[in-house]
Amino acid sequence: MGIENTSVVFRTILTVNLCGLYNWVSMRQWKTVSIIGVGLIGGSIGLALQRRGLAERVVGIGRRETSLDAALRCGAVTEATTDLGAGVADAELVVACTPVTRIVQHIRLAASACPSGTLLTDAGSTKGSIVEALTRQLKPGVAFVGSHPLAGSEKIGPESARDDLFDGRVVVVTPTAAAPTDWVSAIVEFWSSLGASVIQMTPEDHDRAVAATSHVPHVVSAALAAATDPGLLNLVAGGWLDTTRVASGDPQLWLQILRDNRPHVLKSLDKFAKVLNSFRDSIHEDDASRILELLQAGKQCRDAVGN
């Protein structure tokens, strides 16, 4: 298993690195990239590949004609099909951008229909169960390396796709010991070629981390919105609007994510609840120095990141 035997074309393009310096770098040019699921992430991959001249054909694969038509209209894909097997028949790279509970099934179907040598990856928000299910069960010459671009938002659909969605964003790639190094490198280079910074982690470390940085914030945001009396919505301002923004995300997608990453989400929620209780107690006891300490701890952590 390897990609040495495929005919790989590279393109040298001018990029700008994180220090603002321009570099000439070689990026792989794909003949055919197939994207399963042409929503915000899938559509943005298609747009980014084309803006950067990195793919001759971008095949969008989806269940609904309306989404595929929208993806075609906004130029996210060059062709579209509802037939997964036909859609990956010429693929050098397949990216599954479907909801987390569908990814394993879609990658298995793609693996059975794609040519030998095809790279397979995904964009799922959880990695443990997906990577475990896909590590050893694909056909010879085809392997899966898990990915998670940290670029989702409450917006959905190809209409929200942007060709710069991955510029400067982090993508976590989660190889296992079983993953051939050259496949992992190819997936890392793919995301880098779209403008992202790639971090490699184990699936377990990834799931533990994103429970804290993404899944618990979603639960907190949704709980805050749900706890707000609708009669007070004319009095919300910037703070409430920011803090509850992600609560607009698709409930079905988030249900899957929270269930799939249940143990880590629960641990991380308990850590949050502990800090919140401490906050509540300090306000109840009117303990000014403790309230200040907690406000300062929050500010310090938030300020460390920037906008």
Q: Across the strands, what pairs with 13?
A: 25
Pick between residue 63 and residue 259 the one whose CB is nearest to a copy of itself.
259
Task: By CB under 8 A, tell whether 20 contacts a copy of itself.
Answer: no
Question: In a 3-state reduction of DSSP, which class is residue 158?
Answer: helix
Measure the CA–CA gap between 249 and 215, rounded to whole angstroms: 12
Pick between residue 92 and residue 122 the one whose CB is nearest to a copy of itself.
122
Task: By CB under 8 A, tell whether 239 contacts a copy of itself.
Answer: yes
Task: By CB under 8 A, tell whether 168 contacts a copy of itself.
Answer: no
Task: By CB under 8 A, tell whether 19 contacts a copy of itself.
Answer: no
From residue 229, how far is each of 224, 225, 236, 245 by CA, in Å? 10, 9, 11, 17
Candidate list 144, 152, 173, 178; residue touching a copy of itself; CB under 8 A = 152
Measure the CA–CA gap between 183 and 111, rounded to whole angstroms: 15
Q: Whole-number minimum distance, CB 168 to a copy of itself, in Å?
A: 11
Task: By CB under 8 A, tell whether 267 contacts a copy of itself.
Answer: no
Measure the CA–CA gap between 193 and 86, rounded to whole angstroms: 26
Q: Whole-number minimum distance, CB 246 to a copy of itself, in Å?
A: 4
Task: By CB under 8 A, tell whether 173 contacts a copy of itself.
Answer: no
Question: In a 3-state reduction of DSSP, which class is residue 91?
Answer: coil
Q: Whole-number minimum distance, CB 292 to a copy of itself, in Å?
A: 5
Task: By CB under 8 A, tell whether 160 contacts a copy of itself.
Answer: no
Q: Whole-number minimum distance, CB 231 to a copy of itself, in Å?
A: 9
Q: Whole-number minimum distance, CB 225 to a copy of itself, in Å?
A: 4
Spell out the residues 6+ positions from residue 1 whose beta carbon is closer than 8 angstroms to its own: 140, 141, 142, 143, 180, 183
User: Smallest Cα–Cα separation from 255: which of 128, 126, 93, 127?
Assistant: 126
Measure the CA–CA gap between 122 and 174, rounded to whole angstroms: 11
Pick between residue 111 and residue 222 the one whose CB is nearest to a copy of itself.
222
Return the residues of window 121-140 that contact a copy of itself according to CB under 8 A: none
Pick between residue 177 and residue 302 the one whose CB is nearest to a copy of itself.
302
Q: Binding-site residue total for a copy of itself (CB under 8 A)? A: 84
Task: By CB under 8 A, tell whether 181 contacts a copy of itself.
Answer: no
Return the residues of window 271-290 that contact a copy of itself according to CB under 8 A: 271-277, 279-280, 283-284, 286, 288
In terms of Cβ atoms closer than 10 Å to its own Cβ (0-12, 13-18, 19+), residue 289 is: exposed
Sign of CA dihedral 47, 48, 54, 55: negative
Q: Whole-number minimum distance, CB 199 to a copy of itself, in Å?
A: 7
Sign of CA dihedral 292, 293, 294, 296: positive
Candidate list 3, 170, 193, 195; residue touching a copy of itself; CB under 8 A = 170
Candidate list 172, 186, 187, 194; residue touching a copy of itself; CB under 8 A = 172
Strands 170-174 and 197-200, bridge-based pairing: parallel
Return the residues of window 196-225 that contact a copy of itself according to CB under 8 A: 199, 209-210, 212-214, 216-225
Task: By CB under 8 A, tell whether 18 contacts a copy of itself.
Answer: no
Spell out the residues 6+ positions from residue 118 whose beta carbon is closer than 8 angstroms to its own: 88, 91, 92, 93, 94, 110, 111, 142
